[in-house]
Chain A
Amino acid sequence: MYTLSNRLKLVSLILIIVGAGLWGTGYYSSHHVTLDNVKTMLAEEASHGGHGDSHATVTEDTHASKDSHSDNASHADADAHHGDEHAEHVMHQIHNRPYSALYIAAFFFMMIALGALAFYAIQFAAQAGWSPLLFRVMEGITYYVLPGALIVLAIAVWAGDHIFVWMNPDMVNPESDKFDKLVAGKSAWLNTTGFVIRALIFIGGWSLYRYFARKFSLAQDQAPEGDRSNFKKSFRIAAAFLVFFIYTESMMSWDWIMSVDPHWFSTLFGWYVFAGMMVCAVTVMAMITIYLKSKGLLQQVNDSHIHDLAKFMFGFSIFWTYLWFSQFMLIWYSNIPEEVTYFVTRIEDYNLPFFGMIAMNFLFPLLLLMNSDYKRIPWFVVMAGVVILAGHYIDIFNMIMPATVGDRWFIGMPEIGAILLFAGLFMFIVFYAISKQPLIAKGNPFIKESEHFHY
């Protein structure tokens, strides 16, 4: 049985306070940027050269839709106002940054818990024999699904058009000069009410499964010898949940991520996000298991279990790369303007995070975790895991930031603050849940097989 140490409580509290402080400072300072500040800043940048050039292309990209709706006569007029419009646009981008930073970190930690929930359900549906020793760790991580997802939803609704530009009512108002035909065409799906209702259905379904799976898992421990009814119920709800999950996860990724670029769409986006969340979930499972083992707990977990988790880290990293590349190559190859603008923005303005993330999420795990012996060395798995987690944070960063802040990005106070804030919260909630129950699901019919598991 694990007890939540005071040191861990203190560390998570410090992370939350420091994180909130950093993010709050970032929020405060960016909200006091006025149009005049931006104009001065832009004038300075123009005199320094460099930065202004790359920015011009982005602004034209994002303004293209608006231009196409105004006729040619007013176009010259629009050009004259372009300077002011540009400054206002940059000011909005600067204002959007703390919202996006908070949202990215909240989503990142929610996605870890959600991925762990899916992985847990797969273990039951497949009646896996190697993993029951790790079930209590997985159950601990999935405890974060409900609070984490509600926080993501709350931030999304609070931030409104700071993150989701389609939440601005002017976008769908034909009278307004901000009217956007494409967004209006999608308004049957992309409207705030629908967004909240769908999110509540997703979160409700996931949490219901989490609640009953945990309940049956604990009840199975108390069940008399030979009574497997709880395990059978777990098996059935896991199978049903996986069907529900794969639809809702896809729709969640359209709603919560893809819609930040409402003009752009990708048909395998849900899978792509899914692959990322599975890597992160397995990585966190491995890290927590190794941590508990280093505390002298979970002694039955042997290096074959760690090996298997590391194999999943390796495998899902390759799977993620496969999907990332499938998405990228088709769009790059066909080179259709409204599609390819997504990657043009990322390669031009986010060159380092875009390519750096591929190195961290693909090359690094590929080369480090390929060797079978290295997958059994705990510190090696933890180090590889840190890089994978950082890489997938940047992956989410690259999904959200280009749409909301354009080239005004930086990993600074609001971003790091938000990461610390949610890392602290995640740590506290997960370890609290782990400390609630014995670490071994002793009633699971496969627990003996798991204890004797060796590769």
Chain B
Amino acid sequence: MEASKVIHAIYNDDDVLMNAVKKVKAAKHQIEEIYTPFPVHGLDKAMGLAPTRLAICAFLYGCVGLTVAVLMMNFIMIEDWPQDIGGKPSFSYLENMPAFVPIMFELTVFFAAHLMVITFYLRSKMWPFKKAENPDPRTTDDHFLMELPIHNNELELQSLLSETGAVEINVVDKAH
């Protein structure tokens, strides 16, 4: 069950934030989400997030791109309108393969890159016209925000967070 009350701890330095995350994790409190203006190196490991599976997706998308390139070039250059490539009229895909390698490479990269970006956006629940979930616009500038759910431990969390160097601690009721 998602807690309706959350606590927002705001930091103004990524090193302070990293240490805070380690302390909060050590005290066995759950971290709901962290909003940062830029990617913080090692934050995912400190938060204990599962490793990304995006790389596996990228590999599979690359395989799709390679297949599309092979089928496409085979249809265009060999079957539909056979071409005499480099003065060697063999009309075989395999024998003309060197000429197709740049296309095979480009489409592999094209598919892997574009589909990986789209996957990343969807997985992060971002799509066009989506309303921003960002709780505080300062996290797009120079502040870092850690969001923790409250389970009847508001005072304990507040004292812990103020020890970690948070510049601002707010209790927010998400139900409203």
Instruction: Give the interface of A toward B (CB within 8 A).
Output: 325, 328-329, 332-335, 370-372, 454
Contacts and interface: CB of A to CB of B under 8 A. Distances in A.
Contacts of B87: 335
A143 B109 CA distance: 40
Given A334-B86, A335-B86, A335-B88, A372 B55 contact: yes
Contacts of A334: 86
20 contacts: A325-B98, A325-B101, A328-B98, A329-B98, A329-B99, A329-B101, A332-B86, A332-B98, A333-B85, A333-B86, A333-B98, A333-B99, A334-B86, A335-B86, A335-B87, A335-B88, A370-B59, A371-B55, A372-B55, A454-B42
Given A329-B98, A335-B87, 13 more contacts: A325-B98, A328-B98, A329-B99, A329-B101, A332-B86, A332-B98, A333-B85, A333-B98, A333-B99, A334-B86, A335-B88, A371-B55, A372-B55
Contacts of B55: 371-372
Nearest to A373: B51
A370 B108 CA distance: 15
A454 B86 CA distance: 50
A199 to B, nearest CB: 35
Contacts of A335: 86-88
Contacts of A333: 85-86, 98-99
Contacts of A325: 98, 101
A85 to B, nearest CB: 32
Contacts of B88: 335
Interface string B82-103: 0001111000000000110100
A362 to B, nearest CB: 11
Nearest to A367: B59
Q: Which A-B residue pairs are the 10 nearest by beta carbons?
A: A333-B86, A329-B98, A332-B98, A335-B86, A335-B87, A325-B101, A333-B99, A335-B88, A328-B98, A372-B55
A322 B99 CA distance: 14
Contacts, number: 20
**Main DSSP-derived SS at the A contact region:** helix
A334 B99 CA distance: 11
Interface in B92-121: 98-99, 101
Nearest to A329: B98
B99 to A, nearest CB: 7
A437 B85 CA distance: 59
Interface in B27-62: 42, 55, 59
A333 B101 CA distance: 12
A278 B98 CA distance: 25
Nearest to A328: B98
A325 B104 CA distance: 13
A372 B98 CA distance: 29
Contacts of A454: 42
A370 B98 CA distance: 23
Nearest to B88: A335
Nearest to A371: B55
A98 B28 CA distance: 69
Contacts of A371: 55
Interface string B155-167: 0000000000000
A334 B98 CA distance: 12
Contacts of A370: 59
A332 B42 CA distance: 48
Contacts of B86: 332-335
A320 to B, nearest CB: 15
Nearest to B102: A329
Nearest to B55: A372
A335 B87 CA distance: 8
A333 B88 CA distance: 9
Nearest to A372: B55
Contacts of A329: 98-99, 101
A335 B59 CA distance: 35
A143 B98 CA distance: 40
A414 to B, nearest CB: 33
A263 to B, nearest CB: 22
B39 to A, nearest CB: 14
Contacts of B59: 370
B49 to A, nearest CB: 16
A407 B141 CA distance: 68
A332 B87 CA distance: 10
A329 B88 CA distance: 14
B140 to A, nearest CB: 27
A454 B59 CA distance: 25
A409 B52 CA distance: 49
A334 B85 CA distance: 10
Interface string B125-145: 000000000000000000000
Contacts of B42: 454
